[in-house]
Amino acid sequence: MKHFVSIGECMVELSDQGNGLLRRGFAGDTFNTAWYARRLLADDWQVSYLTAVGDDALSAEMLGFMASEGIDTGLVQRIEGAAPGLYMISLKNGERSFSYWRDTSAAKRLATDRQHLRQALASANVVFLSGITLAILPPDDAQQLIAAAQEAGKAGALVAFDTNYRPRLWKGRTDTQALMLQAAAAAQVVLPGFDDETAVFGPCDATMIGKRYLEAGAKVIVVKDGARGATVFEGETKVHVPAVAPPEVVDTTAAGDSFCASFLARYVQGDSAVKAAQFAAQIAAQVVARRGALVPVSPSSGS
């Protein structure tokens, strides 16, 4: 069985249902990607989530939810006395904003056990991590995670990195650019968001972004730019892939996460990078037309 390992933080999600009511769920960028990957990969793939949770009731419910959704939890560490982080989504005209309570999140310790980390990635065919994964970790642990991903890549895994950037997680730090580039150097596929790139590296265009990560050592770069589509770079090839317009933009919460999952699912199962990006655009359009981070998708309509 082939093995897709996504690494990061799953949080308790509170979403506004109107009239002062909040709905509780579980989500987070790399978890969302794992969730969509499970739905889009063939049955001969196992999808695992690598994180750390506490020993509290919410952590137990989170693990139960993961398992019920077909995601393997065998790589999840349980931290005594710890608990998961929490966030709340506010929506306005389909765009989301977040309030976070994650300072003591157990996931910040997901890379503390170096031996566990390397053993967890030893069987991986795909390793997926994001800029948020790096940002929640202490700097030394972030370096260890990148090194473990690089080892997995040298052993034959496809390492994919989404530059997903949240400014508040990097506040007061000066290593943002360096860690992003180091993670990209460990990856074969980089999936940067255009807005994230301008926030981290300053004004740029898609060509500059593609060049940045090709020079870092990545083989395939897919620059995500929302409604303006995506640009795929592979060697000397540059192809713009138009976005697919949804019937209505309801919630963009997991647009990028579902794009990453659907791109990787198709790419590792034999599609070209361009065809995989076209499929991902179709799936992302389905996701933004529904409320919530985790929504049903129809692979057949994205084929």
Q: Tokens representing 179?
A: 């860690």
Strands 45-50 and 86-92, how do they pair?
Answer: unpaired
DSSP state of 244: P
Residue 257 known to be catalytic: yes
AA identity, residue 154: K
Q: Residue 274, Cβ neighbours under 10 Å: how many?
A: 17
pLDDT of residue 74: 98
The DSSP element (H or E) to which 149 belongs, if any, is helix 139-154
Is 288 a member of any domain? Answer: yes
Q: Among the options 56, 205, 257, 271, which is catalytic?
A: 257
Q: How far apart are the C-alpha atoms of 212 and 227, rounded to whole Å? A: 23
At residue 15, the 3 state secondary structure works out as strand
pLDDT digits (tens, 9 = 90+) for 46-70: 999 999 999 999 999 999 999 999 9
Is 75 a member of any domain? Answer: yes
**Domain residues for 187?**
2-9+29-81+108-293
Q: Which CATH number fits the domain that encloses residue 73?
A: 3.40.1190.20
Q: How far apart are the C-alpha atoms of 70 and 39, rounded to whole Å? A: 9
Is 153 a member of any domain? Answer: yes
- Kindly state the average pLDDT of the residues 125-152: 98
Is 103 a member of any domain? Answer: no
pLDDT digits (tens, 9 = 90+) for 204-220: 999 999 999 999 999 99
Q: What integer best gives the mean pLDDT of the chain?
A: 94
The answer, yes or no, to whether residue 33 has pLDDT greater than 80, is yes
- Kindly state the average pLDDT of the residues 4-13: 96
At residue 8, the 3 state secondary structure works out as coil
What total of structural domains would you count in the chain?
1
Q: Residue 118, Cβ neighbours under 10 Å: how many?
A: 14
The sign of the CA dihedral 122, 106, 82, 98 is negative
Is 257 a member of any domain? Answer: yes
